[in-house]
């Protein structure tokens, strides 16, 4: 038996994190698309990791429970990395809420029941969640604590009609859900945090840059404090710290890694975007 790392969403961000925490452990690579999991496994195996590729659909609790069971056959689950998701240009409102909001919430809940002592989890939210104005204290509480099966019935979620809002609420919910889960995870001796990246060059971001909002994204990047997009490795470095022994006092927190874009959106040169978001 080995310590187990579970990665769901085997895109570049997820892979960058798993590479940093997976040495000497069993790395479970789960994705909706088996080919995606298998091609990640090939890269990892060729680099000396011990992997198992599998399919999982995080929009289904049953599928998540199968993944939990599969992972535990190899040993104690020490690390969870959730980097699965669909973007506003990739899916309709209902699907975004089902995968990015509900799916992430169920992942946190189910892995929070079995995470090993000394373990840690990181889920990938987005800067997008930081562009919603303040929600009420009651809405924050509801997003953080409503039982997962009732989440999608919250009236303010049911009222969402555009995909960008669905994504923003989902990502805000990820952050609040992590805060809500810090207590049960803490009782098992584990930490859980979220990372909210800005634009990171991956296939998902490439879809966005080609999509209807592409021009806007390019202009935004040029005018942002960093003046560029981020790389999966930069997100990986942050996640590695959170999941390392140096990060044990950090739990229930969200980390924005966006080259200053959000700060500029609210208070700097990117304030012009407020009119369009």
Site for ligand NAD, rule CB under 6 A: 8-14, 31-33, 36, 56-59, 83-87, 99, 103, 124, 126, 197, 199-200, 202-205
100: left (phi over 0), alpha (psi -120 to 50) or beta: alpha
Min CB(47)–ligand NAD separation in Å: 18
Indicate the residue among 6 and 199 with the shorter CB distance to ligand NAD. 199
Minimum gap (Å) between residue 118 Cβ and ligand NAD: 26
Question: How far is residue 156 from each of residues 165, 168, 276, measured CA to CA in Å?
Answer: 11, 13, 21
C-alpha span between 192 and 34 (Å, rounded): 27
Which residue's CB atom is positioned nearest to ligand NAD? 11
Give least dist CB 236 to ligand NAD, A.
11
CA atoms within 13 A on the CB side of 270: 23
Residues carrying an active site annotation: 167, 171
- What is the distance between the alpha carbons of residues 137 and 119, in angstroms, rounded to a whole number? 30
Q: Token pair 């992997």 is at which residue? A: 51
Residue appearing with tokens 């509900």:
102
Residue 60 CB, nearest approach to ligand NAD (Å): 8
Q: Does residue 255 contact residue 126 with C-beta atoms inside 8 Å? A: no
According to DSSP, the residues that pair with 256 across neighbouring strands are: 196
What b/e sequence results for 171-202 when a residue is b if at least 16 CB atoms lie within 10 Å of its CB, and e otherwise?
A: bbbbbbbbbbbbeebeeeebbbbbbbbbbbeb
Given the complex with ligand NAD, which of 85 and 247 has the nearer CB atom? 85
Minimum CB distance to ligand NAD smaller for 182 or for 204:
204
**140 or 231: whose CB is closer to ligand NAD?**
231
Which helix or strand (DSSP H or E) is residue 193 part of? strand 191-197
State the nearest-atom distance from the C-beta of 259 to ligand NAD, in Å.
11
Residue with Cβ nearer ligand NAD (141 or 266): 266
Q: At what angle do helices 232-243 and 12-21 cross, to 10 degrees?
A: 40
User: Cβ closer to ligand NAD: 204 or 238?
Assistant: 204
Sign of CA dihedral 207, 262, 85, 52: positive
Shortest spacing between CB 274 and ligand NAD, in angstroms: 19
In whole angstroms, give the CA distance from residue 115 to residue 48. 25
């Amino acid at each position: 038996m080995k310590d187990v790392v579970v990665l769901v969403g085997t895109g570049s961000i997820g892979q960058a994190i798993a590479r940093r925490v997976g040495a000497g452990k069993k790395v479970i690579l789960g994705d909706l698309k088996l080919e995606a999991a298998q091609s990640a496994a090939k890269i990892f195996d060729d680099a000396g990791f011990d992997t198992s590729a599998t399919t999982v659909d995080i929009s289904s609790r049953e599928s998540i429970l199968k993944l939990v069971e599969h992972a535990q056959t190899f040993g104690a689950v020490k690390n969870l990395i959730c980097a699965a998701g669909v973007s506003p240009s990739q899916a309709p409102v209902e699907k975004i809420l089902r995968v990015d909001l509900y799916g992430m919430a169920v992942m946190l809940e189910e892995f929070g029941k079995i995470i090993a002592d000394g373990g840690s989890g990181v889920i990938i939210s987005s800067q997008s969640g930081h562009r919603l104005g303040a929600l009420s204290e009651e809405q924050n509480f509801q997003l953080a604590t409503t039982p997962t099966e009732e989440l999608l019935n919250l009236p303010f979620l049911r009222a969402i009609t555009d995909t960008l809002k669905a994504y923003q609420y989902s990502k805000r919910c990820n952050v609040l859900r992590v805060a809500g889960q810090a207590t049960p995870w803490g009782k098992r001796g584990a930490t859980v945090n979220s990372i909210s990246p800005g634009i990171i060059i991956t296939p998902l971001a490439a879809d966005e840059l080609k999509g209807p909002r592409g021009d806007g994204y390019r202009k935004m990047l040029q005018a942002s404090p960093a003046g560029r997009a981020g790389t999966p490795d930069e997100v990986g470095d942050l996640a590695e710290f959170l999941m390392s022994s140096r990060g044990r006092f950090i739990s229930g927190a969200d980390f924005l890694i966006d080259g200053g874009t959000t700060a500029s959106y609210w208070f700097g040169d990117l304030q012009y975007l407020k009119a369009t978001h």
